[in-house]
Every structure is written in structure tokens, then in C-alpha cells.
Structure 1
Amino acid sequence: MTGTTNLLCYLLVLVVVSEVFAVVVVVVIVVVVVGGEGGGRGVIVVVVLIVVVAVLVVEEPVVVLLVVVVAVVVLIKEVLVVAVVVVVVVVVVVVVVVVVVVVVTVLLVLVLLVAVVVVVVVVIVKVVIVVVYQVVVTIVVVVVVVVVVVVVVVVVVVVVVVV
């Protein structure tokens, strides 16, 4: 018999000798490998139990090898699901950290801009106050000088006229 025929015979022996075991293997393949999002520890425990039963009960090495291959595929799939979840969590954490850093940086820049605006306004107000003060002082000095000159002229005129 050829190798393929031998394999088919071994699979037939698996179905005939241990139908329940074959059904369990098929269910695990369909549920976990084909259609699920991963069952976590429960699936891993079931797979390990299937391998142990296969090693202890089934006498055909090819059947045990088939069970071990299915178990490895299931376990790899479970590990990949966990790895994908870990990668997604890491990506989400990195994105959140980057967003927080960007937001904090933008807020710091805004605070600095507000501080610069406040400083500029204070400087402008001080300059305006100084200029207004100088103008007022100049006007008061001019008015005082004019009043003094007028008073002096009036006094001189009165003195000259009276004398």
C-alpha cells in the first residue's frame, strides 16, 4: 500500500476504534482553529487532555502524531491570539502616551503664549503710563510757568502803573 493509503487506513482505524476521540479532535479543530476567537486556558487544557488520552489510549503512532499536530496548531493559534491581544494593548498604550504628550505639549505652548501676551501687555501699559505721566508733568510745568510769568507780568505792570 502507498503512504496515502496507509494514512487513510490509520484515519479509518481512528474513526472506527475511537469514534468519541475522533469527534473530540474534529470539534476542537472546528471550534478553535477554524471559527473562534480563542478559548484561553480552557482550550489549552482540553488540548493537553486530548494529547494525554491519545498517548495513553491510542496505540497507532500516526494517530498520536495527528493528535499532537492538531494540538500544536491549536496551541499556536491560542498563543497567536494572546500575542495579538498583547500587541493591540501595547499599540493602544503607545497611542495614548503619544496623545497625552502632544496634548501636554500643546497646553504648555499655549501657557507660554499667554505668558508672553501678558508680559507684552504689561510692558505696553507701563510705557503708556510713563508717556502719559511725562505729558501730564510737562503740561503742568508749562501751565505753572505760564501762570508764574503772567503773575510776574501783572505785578510788574501794577507796580509800574502805581509808581
Structure 2
Amino acid sequence: MVIVVKIVVIVVVVVMVIVVMVVVIVVMMVNVMEVMVMPNVLMVVVMVKMMVLVMGIVIEVVVVVLMVMLVLVMVVVIVVKEGGEGYGCG
């Protein structure tokens, strides 16, 4: 049981780190683009920023879904481990 929890925690941490890195890279790219193409293409910059916002929301939703799934998996594992003989095979 402890091993499963450790693995889950490691996976969650790795996913979070990757997500943060991706977001940082995207934001940096947007900033570079702003510097490169000055006011001419304000529309493009606005569109890119909107895309980044949407991406951030999507990533947050994905993370939340992942967390919920992990919690559900852990609950199922605990129930199966603890109550296998009792109410599992009733």
C-alpha cells in the first residue's frame, strides 16, 4: 500500500513539474514575440495571449481531473486491500 502511494505521489510531482515548465516556456515565447514584433501586430499578440490563457485553463482542468482520478484509484485500492475478504466478495 505504501509503495503505491509513493509511486502516485512521484507521478503527480513529475506531471506538475512538466506542466509548470511548459507554461513557463510558452510565456517566455510570448514575451519574446512581443519584443520581436512591436505594435504592428497587436492583434497577434492578443490572440497568442488568449491562447495561453485557454491553455492554462485546459492544463488546470487536466490537473484537477488527474488528481480526482488518483484519489479515486487510491480509494479503490484501499477498499480492495482492506475489505477484500469482508464486503468485497459478499
Aligned residues with identical type, % of pairs: 34
> May I ask how many residue pairs the two structures share in their alignment?
68
Residue of structure 2 equivalent to 1:52: 31
List structure 1 segments (4+ residues) > 6 angstroms apart after TM superposition: none
**Cα RMSD (Å) of the superposition?**
2.4
Q: Which amino acid aligns with 2:56?
A: L
Shift of 1:88: 1.1
Residue of structure 1 equivalent to 2:56: 75
Residue of structure 1 equivalent to 2:74: 93
Whole-angstrom distance in 1 between the partners of 2:33 and 2:60:
22
Q: Which amino acid aligns with 2:71?
A: V
Q: Which has the higher contact order (CA 8 A, sep 6+)?
A: 2
Written as runs of structure 1 = structure 2, the 5 A alignment for 1:21-60 is: 40-58=19-37, 59=39, 60=41
Shift of 1:57: 3.0
For structure 1, list consecutive stretches of 5 or more residues without a partner in the other structure: 1-38, 108-163
Shift of 1:92: 0.4
Contact 1:50/1:67 (CA < 8 Å) preserved in 2? no
Shift of 1:65: 0.5
TM normalised by structure 2 equals 0.58
Whole-angstrom distance in 2 between the partners of 1:76 and 1:49:
18
Shift of 1:81: 2.3
Residue of structure 2 equivalent to 1:5: none
Larger Cα Rg: Structure 1 or Structure 2? 1
Written as runs of structure 1 = structure 2, the 5 A alignment for 1:1-163 is: 40-58=19-37, 59=39, 60-103=41-84, 106=86
Shift of 1:87: 1.2
Whole-angstrom distance in 2 between the partners of 1:93 and 1:63:
44
TM normalised by structure 1 equals 0.35
For structure 2, list consecutive stretches of 5 or more residues without a partner in the other structure: 1-17
Q: Which amino acid aligns with 2:81?
A: V
